[in-house]
């Protein structure tokens, strides 16, 4: 029988808050983190806004000398890991690391869609303008995707699995789901897992804008991210990190851990359809949700809430709605669906990380976060999207969807934990 896996710690750095409590409070107040870009001059850009992390100081978490060796996505990951580890109450030795015996069974799995785009752009500019000798010796280790997991592993002495995926907007969910399976099969007792991203850069914004993937609501950025709403016109790029501590149930119980929820299902599928557009039949999304419920051994009627991928793009929201209807049948109109991207923007590879945390909190605190900026219903999107205000609800199972470019899909299923 597969080992049971529970969530014991949470950590967040998001466009609406630099902690779990500040972020959750913002969600409950329907607060948007979208504003005009402060990181670079957008005068020549067709899109001038994003969901940036605000008032974040990496030196609160990392020594200055070490912080210079890291990209911003690693800074965010470490800050979220510090909060999640403290929240979990896991005992560390005097050096702040896992003690012998536990270290070998503790792992890190922190994914990113891109890694540190800032480092890539900065060092490329040095190469062109100052020559190859001016490129930083820390360029590679500050930019590559797996160094968030690597740095957290080093910080806590976690000697178990150490991995990362670069599966676009499904990366954070894949990290949590893969960690779930690692613990289930006995390769670790503890995993620090989730996603981190820092891709609000000139090249990134220009590239996504060129694809016509971004909202162009420059006159009203606060209301630009409007998932499932009739007048949606694209996603809003965001940044940050969302991590959780997963533990094997008996390991957590032996140490008297506070348990937020149980992770009971995980699925992965491919659309095999298009580079960027979701399958218009919803096939990939249908199969990933179905596989996830089968993995958990539950019926569709038991799911009460879905934290949707809900990007605020015309095609994604239409086809995700279609997939939910086909997967759940009549029950689709009885469950609640919301997109927290209406407030946080789309954190790319970190989206599945923060939205996994939101799904856990929805179960634990018995309240569902809303979809804000929902004004005009779309006939193609006809489900209950928890419009504009949070809703108290005692839900037993919450599903979190994440879909990425290249047709990669992931879903996570959490269950309310009762001792």
Strand-by-strand arrangement of the 303-307 sheet: 162-163, 106-111, 190-197, 240-248, 5-13, 261-270, 408-416, 397-404, 303-307, 336-338
Contacts of 94 (CB under 8 A, 6+ apart): none
The active-site residue, picked from 75, 174, 309, 364, is 309
The active-site residue, picked from 169, 174, 193, 364, is 169
Give residue 218's region: left, alpha or beta (phi > 0; psi -120 to 50).
alpha
Contacts of 178 (CB under 8 A, 6+ apart): 109, 163, 165, 193, 266
Q: Is 169 a catalytic residue?
A: yes
Q: Is 174 a catalytic residue?
A: no
The active-site residue, picked from 75, 174, 193, 346, is 346
H or E stretch at 373: none
Q: Do the strands 5-13 and 35-36 form a parallel or antiparallel pair, or are they unpaired?
A: unpaired
Q: Is 381 a catalytic residue?
A: no
H or E stretch at 344: helix 341-344
Sign of CA dihedral 192, 25, 262, 316: negative
DSSP 88: H
DSSP 180: H
Q: Do the strands 408-416 and 261-270 form a parallel or antiparallel pair, or are they unpaired?
A: antiparallel
H or E stretch at 139: helix 139-143
DSSP 60: G
- The CA–CA distances, whole Å, from 296 to 266, 289, 338, 384, 395 equal 8, 11, 22, 24, 16
- The CA–CA distances, whole Å, from 178 to 35, 171, 263, 348, 360 equal 34, 10, 12, 18, 17
- The CA–CA distances, whole Å, from 4 to 201, 255, 411 equal 41, 16, 18
Q: How many CB atoms lie within 10 A of CB 166?
A: 16
d(CA 76, CA 140): 18
d(CA 404, CA 349): 9
State the catalytic residues: 169, 309, 346
């Amino acid at each position: 029988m597969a080992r049971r896996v529970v969530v014991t710690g949470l950590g967040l750095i998001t466009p609406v808050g630099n902690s779990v409590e500040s972020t959750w409070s913002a969600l409950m107040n329907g607060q948007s983190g979208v504003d005009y870009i402060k990181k670079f001059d957008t005068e020549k850009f067709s899109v001038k806004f994003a969901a940036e992390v605000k008032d974040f100081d990496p030196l609160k978490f990392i020594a200055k000398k070490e912080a210079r060796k890291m990209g911003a996505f690693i800074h965010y990951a470490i800050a979220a890991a510090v909060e999640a580890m403290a929240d979990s109450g896991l005992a560390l030795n005097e050096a702040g690391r896992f003690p012998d015996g536990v270290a070998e069974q503790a792992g890190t799995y922190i994914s990113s869609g891109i890694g540190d785009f800032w480092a890539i752009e900065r060092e490329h500019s040095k190469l062109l303008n100052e020559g190859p000798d001016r490129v930083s010796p820390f360029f590679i280790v500050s930019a590559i995707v797996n160094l968030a997991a690597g740095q957290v592993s080093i910080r806590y002495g976690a000697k178990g699995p150490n991995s990362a995926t670069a599966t676009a907007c499904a990366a954070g969910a894949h990290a949590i789901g893969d960690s779930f399976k690692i613990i289930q099969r006995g390769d670790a007792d503890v995993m620090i897992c989730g996603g981190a991203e820092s891709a609000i850069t000139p090249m990134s914004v220009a590239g996504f804008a060129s694809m016509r993937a971004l909202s162009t609501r420059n006159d009203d950025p606060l209301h630009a991210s409007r998932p499932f709403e009739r007048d949606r016109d694209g996603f809003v790029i965001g940044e940050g990190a969302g991590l959780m501590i997963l533990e094997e149930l008996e390991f957590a119980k032996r140490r008297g851990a506070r348990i937020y929820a149980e992770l009971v299902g995980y699925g992965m599928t491919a659309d095999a359809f298009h580079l960027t557009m979701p399958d218009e039949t919803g096939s990939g999304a249908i199969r990933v949700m179905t596989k996830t419920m089968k993995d958990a051994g539950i019926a569709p009627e038991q799911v009460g809430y879905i934290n949707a991928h809900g990007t605020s793009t015309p095609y994604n929201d239409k086809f995700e709605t279609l997939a939910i209807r086909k997967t759940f049948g009549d029950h689709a109109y009885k469950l609640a669906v919301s997109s927290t991207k209406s407030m946080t923007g789309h954190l790319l590879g970190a989206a599945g990380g923060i939205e996994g945390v939101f799904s856990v909190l929805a179960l634990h605190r018995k309240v569902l976060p809303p979809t804000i900026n929902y004004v005009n219903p779309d006939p193609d999107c006809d489900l209950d999207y928890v419009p504009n205000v949070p809703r108290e609800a005692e839900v037993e199972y919450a599903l979190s969807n994440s879909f990425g470019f290249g047709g990669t899909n992931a879903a996570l299923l959490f269950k309310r934990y009762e001792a």
